[in-house]
Amino acid sequence: MLKLKNVKSCFTPNSIQEAIDIHKKSGGKAVFVGGGLDITVFPNPAIEQLIFLDKLGLTYIRDDVGNIKIGATATITDVTKAPVMQNYLKGKVKIALTELASELLRNQITMGGSIARHHFYSDILPVIYALRGKIMVSDGELVEEFFVDDFYRNDLKVLMETHIVVGVHLNKYDDSFQFGSKRFVRNATDIALLNMAILAQIEEDIIKDVSISVGSRPGPAYRFEQGEAFLRGKKLTKELAEDFESFTKSNVDVTKDMHLCKEYRQHIASIYAKEMLLDFIGGVR
Amino acid sequence: MKDFKHIGTSTDKIDALSLATGQSMFVDDISFPNMLHVKFLYSSYAHAIIEDIDTTLAEKHPGVEMVLTYKNTSRVIHTTAGQGWPEPSPYDTYMFNKKMRYIGDRVAAVAAETEEIAREALKLIKVQYKVLPAVLDMEDAMKDGAPIIHDEPEIKGAYDIKHNLAAHILVKVGDVEKGFAESDVVVEDTFEVPYAQHCPIEPHVTITYLDEYGRIVIRTSTQVPFHVRRIVAQVLDIPVQKIRVIKPRIGGGFGVKQEIILEDVCAYITMKTGKPARALFTREEEFVSSRTRHQMKVNVKIGAKKDGIFNAIRMYVLSNTGAYGTHALTVASNAGSKTLPLYNKAPNVEYIADVVYTNLPIAGAYRGYGATQGYACLEQVVDEVAHKLELTPLEIRKKNHIKSGETSPIFRALGEGREGVTQYMQSCALDELIEKGAKEIGWFEKYGKKTRNGSKVRGIGMSIHMQGSGIPLVDMGAATLKMNEDASFNLMYGGTDLGTGLDTIVTQIVAETLGIKPEQVIVYAADTDLTPFDVGAYASSGTFISGGAVLRAAMKIREQIFEVAKEIFGEYDERDFVLEDGKVTSKKTGKSVTLSEIAYQTLYVKNQHQIAATGSMVSPYSPPPFAAHFVEIEVDEETGIITPIKYVTAVDCGTPLNPELVRGQIIGALVNGLSYALSEEYKFTDSGRMVSSNFMEYRIPSTRDIPEIVPIVVRTYEPTGPYGAKSVAEININGPIPAIGNALYDALGVRVHKVPYIPERVLEAIRSKK
Amino acid sequence: MKVCYSVNGKKKEFEIKAGEVLLDVLRRNGYFEVKGNCYMGTCGACTVLIDGLPYTSCTMLAAKVDGSEITTIKGIGTLQKPHPLQKAFVEKGAVQCGFCTPGIILVAYALLKNNPDPTDDDIKKMLDGNLCRCTGYVQQIEAVKLAAKMLKKGDE
Ligand SMILES: Cc1cc2nc3c(=O)[nH]c(=O)nc-3n(C[C@H](O)[C@H](O)[C@H](O)COP(=O)(O)OP(=O)(O)OC[C@H]3O[C@@H](n4cnc5c(N)ncnc54)[C@H](O)[C@@H]3O)c2cc1C
Ligand code: FES
Ligand code: FES
């Protein structure tokens, strides 16, 4: 089955500058290819040129001071296998990433491809949101850094005309931070219908800081800021977890589709919220 | 139990290594020069009439060979159901038609040099539809004044087209109303079992070409090569003689390939153009335009006496056959005939079924064949009766299930769309199955305990089942064996191995009968030119019917070999002979001759002839295999998520001819049943468009979804089957829905009346209880 | 356009269309042992190893992997000289229709290269992208474990 009928040429540039030049010249007819999963499964007939990013040296996962730096063409498998990820937030980020999709697809899906399209396949973005990742983009000369929330406030279509995603930086967090993530799937390799991740800093039972993300396809993932505000500064107790359950139920924003109604998604999000907090209590003590 | 050499051992599957090394050829693994590629245009309306169709542009498109529509193809009414003749399914289908009956109905086909060109050309076809009101609901379909889906005059064999009834069944034994009145408890419940697809990983695919005599060769992924030949001949109005059907390796079927879908179109194109033609379904087409499981609403009412013995059972089935009535009557028959005899103690039994047409995808044969739907309800209602009488699920079943030596009037009253054949159970290990399964799951420690871990509660449930082995006095299979110099044997038989391992089992049967090794049997199967007839792979008939035919052929060969040995030994009584280790030995005289010597002698030396024989098998018996299923689940009260923890299935399939293959059949069916119970769903829009038509949306299980599975095989000996065997392929798909339903009740005291048991529904049930 | 792969150890040039996926290129060139149908990365029947890692060839752009080493099921063992995995799949009854088998064995092959002693859980995680509708997976998992044992004993 010929997927991309109108593609006439392929490029494998050796520099970001070159990649962006090709893209600019194409008049909107070229696409960057990370893993190429999205591009082949949902082919766009308007595409005439493919720009492979494999030779840009962006397939790395670096253990830096204060940051884990992940290159755009690193795949999910690369990330989950990287030594630095094994104990990062007690290995929980790694687990979140190994659970999604399937081995074959984890080998193909790149971080860049997951970030550059803010689409409904929401498993990876909630993790990056909760971790307050920084998205690094470059126009070939300068590297700009966006806090993940700000990144998606851009008109991506416009930004991606002149930039590519070069990577994502994840803060390293000390032991006062805990991470949890949950996904609602119909069976194991399903693309989650709802998922949620929480990163919380807990000192002496007080939630010092927290970020919470929610994804519910087909809607885009987002930061559940109301929920964060609700929790911030409170004492982490069983009661709080229960209060937060009902808070989440009435305040979380989710979408619906043919598979799952809104009401159930809100319900499941609230249960997940509670469960993760309860896990944190266990983790603290 | 008899001692066997090859029967009961796990001989390697004869094609397994070839498949595992990528050598085997499936239908699509060959290509011909000048081959045409066929693509279809489908109706975008659930119910409509094509007022006009303009194919001029498509025909002119470079690379297009021909465009097929109702205007230029033969109009022969037929059924696509690959069943024995005369088919019990209504004749309601044409190769192409003006009338469109569901979104996915065939409007036109394009044959072109490449798939791409064919696809492009489809876009150039202009169709003018007159849209009609559609019926998408089973109950609505039967109402007076509902739009009539089959209003063409040629339709034959449907029950009542004015009420969209493809079939109707009413079978009565005794008097159920009186039976209920005289019962101490009466319980009634209804369960809805949904659409589902077989999802063979290889979809439907057909390649046709002309042989050197101008006959049409159809190389196709089918379960029913001989029915393909007959029905294509019918549709194309050419003699059977002009067609050869070949079934190479097949990538799974599960019932969906018991259907003539692509073969008629490809054959027609090849006939008209002289060129090879290839049609291959996409996954989406496989979901929408092939066949599905019949959606059913099943109501069961059971009346029982205080002691737990059933006094009356009534089952009512409302079945949705979709746009066409393939297997409409027979699947509905089986929902009763493969379930009700299990509880033969009830003197009063009534079975009623209405099978309706709707403007939805076409149902067909699917592993379990109605029994799956019947058991989904029956086995939960049986538990409900037990609860009312304060009996355990094990007790109530032990009191009521059929036993060795017994029969049920249903066997005779309800056959495959006609009267059936009385069956007496000659092998039935149900009691032992229940006992062993219960022990393995830890029934006595766990049942009713509702062990809790936070919001998660454990529950266990069980169900029992039977199926059949072929259709009695209907299914026929035949096999031919001939002997070669090295005491190898060519076995040509019509049996259709879809991956089940039938081709291996038959080598074991021949080897056992002729005292040779299975490797000495060269199997060639399912080629209408070269092998004798066989109805094909359905109704759990493979081992029993096709295997039975092979046994008969082998027995005849045995006799012929003994005849020659008599001559050589100068002896007269074959009762003195043993056929073992490749030779005939006389116990009386100690004389011995190898099979190879016999072959040389008969082929070259003396009294020359070919040692060869054909055996046919048709049987008044259809011995049911039995199974007892046990499952432990964990259900989260807060989310409604059900997680199966452990699944035990105890099975009596007579002699397991090849234990490893038997295990594969048990687990394969079970895992399919599990995901049917929990996650597989057809989603439709309000206009009747099926929208979960790929593996992203329609979820079938992966390695990460399976619980611990423990198959237990209890060996019995079925005297009517080859070397004591009964069937095993279908039965185990029937358990998960009722067993999980019963486990859910054990855990939380609720029932979910609509399958699959998705978390939302489970949660709703939990809430409405509170 | 032209690309060059080494398929099962043999270097070859292939004429491809720029927007084509690897599955189509391989099948068009007679590598029929690579199955496939869903074209969405959802069934795994089209699995091949690309430089040793398993991918769904239906979602892999053929041009992207120019210069790679591609391994199909025929590259790890043959009818005459099967790989222990292939033998183990036969022995354990893990092959029914066999349509999924090439893909599954290739993934298992990649697994055993890195993890000669996998647990059930390792195997389940690794094989989760390869759908099999016939077997229910149990015997396949057993076969991978058996092959691991055979490999350890040096049964090549
Ligand atoms: C069957 C299937 C299952 C899936 N399951 C899951 C799942 O469980 N969980 C989940 O989260 N997702 C899932 N996905 C979605 C998958 O994560 C996305 O399709 C992802 O975009 C694929 O990454 P890629 O690198 O292959 O993307 P590509 O196809 O390469 O690219 C996607 C888009 O991003 C652009 N792009 C890629 N890299 C860059 C870059 N560096 N800079 C700028 N633009 C770039 C491309 O031009 C394209 O528009 C699934 C997809 C499929 C088809
Ligand atoms: S064809 Fe590639 S995953 Fe299904
Ligand atoms: S063996 Fe048939 S799909 Fe796996």
DSSP type of residue B631: E
Residue A250 confidence (pLDDT) above 60: yes
Residue B633 confidence (pLDDT) above 90: yes
Burial (CB < 10 A; 0-12, 13-18, 19+), residue B368, is: buried
Average pLDDT over residues B82-87: 96
Q: What is the pLDDT of residue A119?
A: 67
Task: Return the residue in C97, C135, C146 with the most chain B beta carbons within 10 A, the one to mutate for interface testing.
Answer: C97
- For chain C, the domains span 2-72, 84-152
Contact (CB<8Å) B17/C101: no
Q: How distant is the alpha carbon of residue B298 from its chain centre?
A: 20
Q: What is the pLDDT of residue C156?
A: 52
C18: chain A residues, CB-CB within 8 Å: 4, 7-10, 50
Question: Which ligand is the nearest neighbour of the Cα of A122?
Answer: 1
A3: chain C residues, CB-CB within 8 Å: 19-21, 39
B704: chain C residues, CB-CB within 8 Å: 124-125, 128
Residue C14 confidence (pLDDT) above 60: yes
Average pLDDT over residues B481-500: 97
User: What confidence category does residue A284 fall into, taking pLDDT thresholds of 50, 70 and 90?
Assistant: low
Tell me the per-residue pLDDT of B150-202, one tens digit each, with 9 for 90 and over: 999 999 999 999 999 999 999 999 999 999 999 999 999 999 999 999 999 99
Q: What is the pLDDT of residue B564?
A: 97
Contact (CB<8Å) C19/A103: no
**Which of C55, C60, C61 is opposite residue A50, by nearest beta carbon?**
C61
**Which of B115, B683, B704 is opposite residue A258, by nearest beta carbon?**
B683
**Closest to B483 (Cα-Cα) out of B617, B582, B336:** B582
Q: What average pLDDT does the structure give for chain B?
A: 97
Average pLDDT over residues A124-143: 95
Q: What is the pLDDT of residue B408?
A: 97
Tell me the per-residue pLDDT of A211-245, one tens digit each, with 9 for 90 and over: 999 999 888 889 999 999 999 999 999 999 999 99
CB B493 within 8 Å of CB B226: no
B116: chain A residues, CB-CB within 8 Å: 2, 5
Q: What is the DSSP string of B668-701?
A: HHHHHHHHHHHT----B-TTS-B---STTTS---
C63: chain A residues, CB-CB within 8 Å: 10, 50, 52
Cis amide linkage into residue B86, ω under 30° from 0:
yes
CATH topology of domain C84-152: DNA polymerase; domain 1 (1.10.150)
Question: Which ligand is the nearest neighbour of the Cα of C41?
Answer: 2
A20 CA from centroid of ligand 1 (Å): 19
Question: Which ligand is the nearest neighbour of the Cα of B701?
Answer: 3
Q: What is the pLDDT of residue A285?
A: 45
Q: What is the pLDDT of residue A122?
A: 65
User: What confidence category does residue A203 fall into, taking pLDDT thresholds of 50, 70 and 90?
Assistant: very high
Average pLDDT over residues B495-505: 96
Percentage of the residues of chain C whose pLDDT score is greater than 90: 97
Q: How distant is the alpha carbon of residue B301 from its chain centre?
A: 27
**Closest to B327 (Cα-Cα) out of B93, B89, B138:** B89
CA distance A160 to A32: 9
Q: What is the pLDDT of residue B418?
A: 80
Q: Is C61 helix (H, G, I), strand (E, B) or coil?
A: strand
Q: What is the pLDDT of residue A121?
A: 66
Query: pLDDT: is A285 or A129 the higher one?
Result: A129
Cis amide linkage into residue B756, ω under 30° from 0:
yes
**Which of A191, A264, A267 is opposite residue B696, by nearest beta carbon?**
A191
Q: What is the pLDDT of residue B549?
A: 98
Taking only residues 610 to 639 of chain B, the set having a beta carbon closer than 8 angstroms to any beta carbon of chain A reads: 638-639
Ligand 1, pocket residues at CB < 6 Å: A 31-39, 41, 53, 72, 100-101, 105, 108-110, 112-114, 116-117, 121, 123-124, 160, 164-165, 191; B 696; C 40-42
Tell me the per-residue pLDDT of B598-615, one tens digit each, with 9 for 90 and over: 999 999 999 999 999 999
Q: How distant is the alpha carbon of residue A265 from its chain centre?
A: 20
Burial A159-185, CB ≥16 within 10 A → b, else e? bbeebbbbbbbbeeeeeebbbbbbbbb
Residue A112 confidence (pLDDT) above 80: yes
CA distance B506 to A194: 50
CB B321 within 8 Å of CB B328: yes
B519: chain C residues, CB-CB within 8 Å: none
Tell me the per-residue pLDDT of C75-128, one tens digit each, with 9 for 90 and over: 999 999 999 999 999 999 999 999 999 999 999 999 999 999 999 999 999 999
Interface residue C124 vs chain B (CB under 8 A): yes
User: What confidence category does residue B770 fall into, taking pLDDT thresholds of 50, 70 and 90?
Assistant: confident
Which segments within B174-262 are labelled E, that is strand?
A: 185-193, 205-210, 216-220, 243-246
From C31, C33, C34, C38, the mutation candidate for ligand 2 (largest count of ligand atoms within 8 A of CB) is: C38
CA distance B473 to A221: 61
Place of tokens 């209408």: B528
Q: Does the C-beta of C37 come closer than 6 Å to ligand 2?
A: yes
Q: What average pLDDT does the structure give for chain A?
A: 94
Side chain identity at residue B439, one-letter code = K
Tell me the per-residue pLDDT of B305-331, one tens digit each, with 9 for 90 and over: 999 999 999 999 999 999 999 999 999
Average pLDDT over residues B472-492: 97
Q: What is the DSSP string of B445-484?
A: HHTTT--EETTEEEEEEEEEEE--SS-TTT--EEEEEEE-
Residue A123 confidence (pLDDT) above 90: no
Tell me the per-residue pLDDT of B235-284, one tens digit each, with 9 for 90 and over: 999 999 999 999 999 999 999 999 999 999 999 999 999 999 999 999 99
From C107, C133, C140, the mutation candidate for ligand 3 (largest count of ligand atoms within 8 A of CB) is: C133
pTM more than 0.95? yes
Q: Which residues share a beta bridge with A58?
A: none
Give helix B736-748 / helix B371-388 axis angle, nearest 10°: 30
Q: Please report, in angstroms and rounded to a whole number, the separation of the first and last CA atoms in chain C.
A: 39
B700: chain A residues, CB-CB within 8 Å: 187
Q: Please report, in angstroms and rounded to a whole number, the separation of the first and last CA atoms in chain B.
A: 54
Q: What is the pLDDT of residue B214?
A: 97
CB B544 within 8 Å of CB B469: yes
- Helix H, strand E, coil C: the string for B144-175 is CCCCCCCCCCCCECCCEHHHCEEEEEEEEECC
Interface residue A1 vs chain C (CB under 8 A): yes
DSSP type of residue C63: G
Contact (CB<8Å) B679/A259: no
* Tokens coding C139: 């015997």
The ligand 1 atom nearest the CA atom of A123: 11
Total beta-carbon pairs less than 8 A apart between chain A and chain C = 96
Average pLDDT over residues B408-429: 93
Side chain identity at residue A232, one-letter code = R
B235 CA from centroid of ligand 2 (Å): 34
Residue A283 confidence (pLDDT) above 90: no
CA distance B217 to B626: 40
Superfamily, domain C2-72: Beta-grasp domain (3.10.20.30)
CA distance B755 to B674: 11
Which residue from C minimizes the CA distance to B665? C135
Pairing of strands A194-203, B205-210: unpaired
Contact (CB<8Å) B17/C91: no
CA distance B687 to B703: 35
Taking only residues 72 to 111 of chain C, the set having a beta carbon closer than 8 angstroms to any beta carbon of chain B reads: 72-74, 77-79, 82, 85-87, 89-102, 105
**Closest to A244 (Cα-Cα) out of A213, A278, A216:** A278
